[in-house]
């Protein structure tokens, strides 16, 4: 059943004439009759009867007439509302982010976005970079911020900020009095690393490879599922680790761990924003990218 059929029915009852109804809505009389017949077939009952040339509503017809007028009134209001608002900017945005962007980059971006577009609502999925790339591939999020570069050709990918991994150690560690160490000083230490799929882990292993170091030469004590878990474990004295400078500087300011430099290895990684190419004209994504670049002073 279509809105047009209800319009035809109401018009017919209001005018009492098939010919006048046909003229007003731009149809032939047979077409009007056909719409009324389909409406009656839909309800499996007569809606109109003729008595001495007049159109009389059956009890069912009276019900259909009353509800149709109400439906058409609401429909006109809906059309007006949509026409009034369809060029206005309103949308929810679903974001996937690995740990560091979700904690240290996204909050500022979303706060700035909210200032400009207070009606926008957002949802954030947090996991390792591999999981977030999978969510984007499945179109379960609109965009992602992750710690390693996606490889899919379906995505538009933007490098947004550079990060450095810093060595963190417990406050009471024997090396805590030193500002700089070498990797050779660390071979006997208990190392904590992130889980497979983590951008931090990938950056650490890539840096080791560039420095001709083998991860198997280190004593890997524990594998953990988040940066905060790594920091907490280091704070407790379980071992040492490399984490994002975004996280290590804050943890050191709070007196939780000691951050020191390793002079013979440079662990640099970048954060990437990615979204599906079929959303390249999405105004909200464009706005997000502009704010993201502005907030991180990159690009």
**Domain 3-85 carries which CATH code?**
1.10.10.10
The whole-angstrom separation of Cα 16 and Cα 12 is: 5
Sequence spans of domains, the chain: 3-85, 92-161+270-296, 163-268
Q: Write out pLDDT tens, residues 123-176.
A: 999 998 989 999 999 999 999 999 889 999 999 999 988 889 999 999 999 999
Are 164 and 267 contacting, i.e. CB atoms less than 8 angstroms apart? yes
Among 86-95, 99-108, 117-126, 240-249, the minimum mean pLDDT is found in 86-95
End-to-end CA distance of the chain: 54
Do the domains at 3-85 and 163-268 have one common CATH topology?
no
Cβ contacts of residue 19 below 8 Å, gap of 6+? 29
Residue 298 has pLDDT above 90, yes or no: no
The pTM for the full model equals 0.60
The whole-angstrom separation of Cα 61 and Cα 287 is: 52
Check if CATH label 3.40.109.10 holds for domain 163-268. no
The whole-angstrom separation of Cα 284 and Cα 287 is: 5
Task: Say whether 274 sits in a helix, a strand or coil.
Answer: strand
Are 252 and 258 contacting, i.e. CB atoms less than 8 angstroms apart? yes
Are 80 and 251 contacting, i.e. CB atoms less than 8 angstroms apart? no
**Domain 92-161+270-296 carries which CATH code?**
3.40.190.10
**Of the candidates 39, 93, 103, 95, which has an alpha carbon nearest to the alpha carbon of residue 68?**
39
Are 231 and 168 contacting, i.e. CB atoms less than 8 angstroms apart? yes
The whole-angstrom separation of Cα 140 and Cα 127 is: 14
Instruction: Output DSSP code: residue 240.
Output: B
Q: Write out pLDDT tens, residues 219-256.
A: 999 999 889 999 999 999 999 999 999 999 999 999 99
Instruction: Output DSSP code: residue 279.
Output: G
């Amino acid at each position: 059943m279509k809105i047009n059929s209800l319009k035809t029915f109401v018009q017919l009852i209001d005018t009492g004439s098939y010919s006048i109804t046909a003229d007003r809505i731009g149809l032939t009389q047979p077409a009007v009759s056909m719409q009324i017949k389909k409406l009656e077939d839909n309800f499996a009952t007569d809606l109109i009867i003729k008595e001495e040339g007049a159109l009389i509503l059956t009890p069912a017809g009276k019900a259909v007439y009353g509800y149709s007028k109400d439906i058409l009134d609401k429909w006109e209001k809906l059309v007006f509302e949509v026409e009034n608002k369809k060029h206005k900017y309103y949308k929810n945005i679903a974001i996937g982010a690995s740990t560091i962007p979700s904690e240290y980059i996204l909050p500022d971006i979303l706060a700035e976005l909210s200032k400009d577009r207070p009606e926008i609502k957002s949802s954030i999925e947090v996991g390792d970079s591999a999981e977030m790339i999978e969510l984007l591939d499945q179109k379960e999020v609109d965009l992602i911020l992750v710690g390693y570069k996606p490889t899919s050709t379906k995505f538009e990918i933007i490098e947004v900020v550079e990060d450095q991994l810093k060595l963190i150690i417990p406050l009471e560690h024997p090396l805590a009095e030193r500002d700089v160490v070498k990797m050779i000083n660390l071979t006997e230490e208990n190392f904590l690393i992130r889980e497979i799929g983590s951008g931090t882990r990938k950056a650490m292993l890539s840096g080791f490879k560039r420095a001709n170091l083998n991860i198997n030469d280190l004593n890997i004590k524990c594998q953990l599922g988040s940066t905060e878990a790594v920091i907490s474990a280091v704070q407790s004295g379980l071992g040492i680790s490399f984490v994002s400078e975004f996280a290590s500087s804050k943890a050191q300011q709070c007196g939780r761990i000691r951050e020191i430099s390793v002079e013979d290895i440079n662990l640099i990684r970048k954060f990437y924003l990615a979204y599906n190419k079929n959303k390249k004209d999405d105004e909200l994504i464009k706005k997000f990218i502009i704010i993201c670049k502005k907030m991180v002073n990159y690009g």
